[in-house]
Structure 1
Amino acid sequence: MSAIAKQASQTQAALAGAEQPLTPTFTLKDYGIFFTAGALCCTITHGGMTPIDVIKTRIQIDPALKGHSLLSGGRKIVAAEGPAALLTGFGPTAVGYLIQGGAKFSGYEFWKKTFTDAVGSREEAVKYRTAIYLGASSVAEFFADILLTPLEATRIRMVSERGYATGLVSGFTKLAAEGGLGTLYAGFLPILFKQIPYAIGQFTVNEFCHEAVYRRLSEETRNTLSGTSKFAIALGSGITAGFAAAILSHPADTLLSQINKGHGPKGSMLYRLATLAREAGPAGLFAGLGPRMIMTAGLVSGQFLLYGWIKNSMGGAPGVEIHKENSVAPPSRGGH
């Protein structure tokens, strides 16, 4: 009788385990926290990086600044136009990335969970984690870019044409009046070419950097890491992810600046992009990469650190993790 009871107990335990969800259940409140944390971390970092972004964009599109470094380009702009020129486009940058950041981070949490659930088991989720990261970051970024594109077009026009508008509202309405929806979304395809590789570098490389570090630590060490150690791991992973994001997305970033400046022949967007790419060549496509790598390393690392801090401060649920060293859904390490 005891053997039968033991077998029944094991069967019940197995069934209970099978009924456990593969990932945590996120509520609308959780997604609201994800969105808020993503919105704040992106608008704070992108807004703070406006001067560097202005210099980078001008190096890409202004022949007078071609070949300049971040410092020399900045000095030349300030000397010719005054310090205020480095804050051109701050409004659309802050608002655009407030919306885009919220959609991107909450979208990544949603799609990573969705794709993880879809594979059906913890083992398969870990096995296909690269595909899950790539898919989640790409889909999340696609929808976020629908919101970002009009504001990014406004920002680039204000940066590239000094005196184009006095602020976000005037710049947006002027651009819309000049060409309507077509002008506001003229850069949608190149922005996808830019932002999807950016998001892939940002999220996927960050995930694997964390995994690479934590796999080298014993379970005891992982569980007793100090706050300083966790901060250092998050910072290093974010900087590395930022470099990857900059390199992967820079050619399309250059083309996006050219498209919004009005450069290139008439025709379909793909034809215009291909023509501009041929005219620029490899050197032209990667013009301004150095300043952008510095900017992006600061952006990405700052975003992950702020996202984790804001999310935790608001009582947000831990994110889904599918690193190889652990099972699918332990407590999140902040930036995930």
Structure 2
Amino acid sequence: MTGGVERRLFQEFSPGYYGICTVGGMLSAGTTHLAITPLDVLKVNMQVNPIKYNGISSGLSTLWREQGPSSLWRGWSGKFFGYGIQGGCKFGLYEYFKKLYSDVLVDRNRSFIFFLSSASAQVFADVALCPFEAVKVRVQTQPKFAKGLVDGFPKLYRAEGLMGFYKGLLPLWCRNLPFSMIMFSTFEHSVELIYHNIIQRRKEDCSRAQQLGVTCLAGYAAGTVGTVISNPADNIVSCLYNKQAENVMQAVKKIGLANLFTRSLPVRIAIVGPVVTLQWFFYDTIKVFCGLPTSGGLNRCLEEANLSA
């Protein structure tokens, strides 16, 4: 069976198409982030208290011993709903902006379009995520703050007002914009490289299983590269949300320049690589079930409009 799809629920670039991409992004991002909540709890605590939580196995053991097994799932609602909404915006808007910029910037190369599309989508996605992230980090690192989103949202609002939810927006953009730009671009080019140099067949001539296999390989490469680039900003976000610093410069000084790049990096790679891989896999699986092509590179319709690139 080839990758060609006989029946499609929606035509590409129709409102229904973007709706499927948004729903696929929500489901893929929400479920994968929910699944790795224990590692995320450990990561945030390693960033806030690196002396006490200085390793993956020892850190998990410390959390289990001192706070019980339920502590490993603290903040799960923020992960599921916050990153679900972010994922919907990120994937859905990325598809929209990629088509928009491909039509407008016909003389630009594809890498520029990938960077600009992912950055545009991520700006909106992080605005949606920021309130959930503000509550989640506090729930995960301050056991007495709140149990989850239901009691965490009103408590944070009473304590810090509306701005309390967006205190970390700038660091969040600093973390996620480079990550998203690198991740999407790396994914797109990895897919193209695998088809052209390894499989040496067009995507349309490959089976759906082969296409999803390519998605997984490209997704892992994209997640690993993006993690290394975004690690400094991720440490700053945790430092700010836990009131260990009042602004970005204080956070950088407190953490130390070298630690910005190395602190919690192994656990983030352990988290983000598989998470990004699963996100792309689930996302493309949903698209395939709806009769749509898998992701990667400018599709045939867009390529025809960018032959000059």
- Percent identity, aligned pairs only, is 29
> Equivalent residue for 2:145?
164
Distance 1:215 1:75 in 2: 46
Deviation at 1:314, TM superposition (A): 3.0
Indicate the residue corresponding to 1:191 in structure 2: 172
Long gaps (5+) in structure 1: 1-23, 266-271, 331-336
1:278 Cα deviation (Å)? 2.4
Q: Is the 8 A contact 2:187 2:296 kept in 1?
A: no
1:82 and 2:68 aligned: yes
* 1:71 paired residue number: 57
- The residue type paired with residue 239 of structure 1 is Y
Q: Which has the higher contact order (CA 8 A, sep 6+)?
A: 2
| Structure 1 partner of 2:25 | 38
Structure 2 residue corresponding to 1:112, chosen from 83, 88, 98: 98
1:263-302 equivalences in 2 (<5 Å) = 263-265=244-246, 272-285=247-260, 286-302=262-278
Post-superposition offset of 1:320: 7.9
Aligned partners of 2:263 and 2:198: how far apart in 1?
Answer: 40
CA contact (8 A) 2:28 2:279 kept: yes
Offset at residue 201 of structure 1 (A): 2.3
- Give the Å deviation of 1:248: 1.0
Corresponding residue of 1:334: none
1:128-168 deviation line (CA, Å, top 9, x unaligned): 11111110010100011111000000000101101211221
2: CA distance, partners of 1:58 / 1:218:
42
Give the one of 233, 254, 273 matched to 2:235.
Answer: 254
**SS at structure 2 position matched to 1:264:** coil
Structure 1 contact 320–328 (Cα < 8 Å) conserved = no
Q: Match for residue 149 of structure 1?
A: 130
1:303 equivalent to 2:279? Answer yes
TM-score between the two structures when normalised by the length of structure 1: 0.81
Per-residue displacement from partner, 1:10-47 (whole Å, max 9, x unpaired)?
Answer: xxxxxxxxxxxxxx862221111111000000000001
Q: 2-side partners of 1:117 and 1:310: how far apart?
A: 26
Q: Structure 1: how far apart are the matches of 2:219 and 2:292?
A: 21
Greater CA drift, 280-289 or 82-91: 280-289
Query: In structure 2, what residue type is equivalent to 1:186?
Result: K
- Contact 1:108/1:136 (8 A) holds in 2: yes
Indicate conservation of the 8 Å contact 1:320/1:329, yes or no: no
Distance 1:321 1:188 in 2: 30
- Alignment CA distance shift 1:217-1:276 (3 Å): closer
Cα displacement (A) at 1:281: 1.6
Question: What's the CA shift string for 1:155-185, capped at 9, x where partnerless?
Answer: 0010110121122110111111111111111
Query: Is the 1:238–1:301 Cα contact (8 Å) retained in structure 2?
Result: yes
Note the aligned Cα RMSD (angstroms): 2.1
User: 1:328 — aligned with what?
Assistant: 302
Q: CA deviation at 1:299?
A: 1.0
Match of 2:88 in 1: 102
Q: CA deviation at 1:114?
A: 0.7
Match of 1:177?
Answer: 158
Comparing 143-152 with 282-291, which one deviates more in the overlay? 282-291
> Higher mean Cα deviation, 24-33 or 133-142?
24-33
Q: What is the deviation of 1:96?
A: 0.4
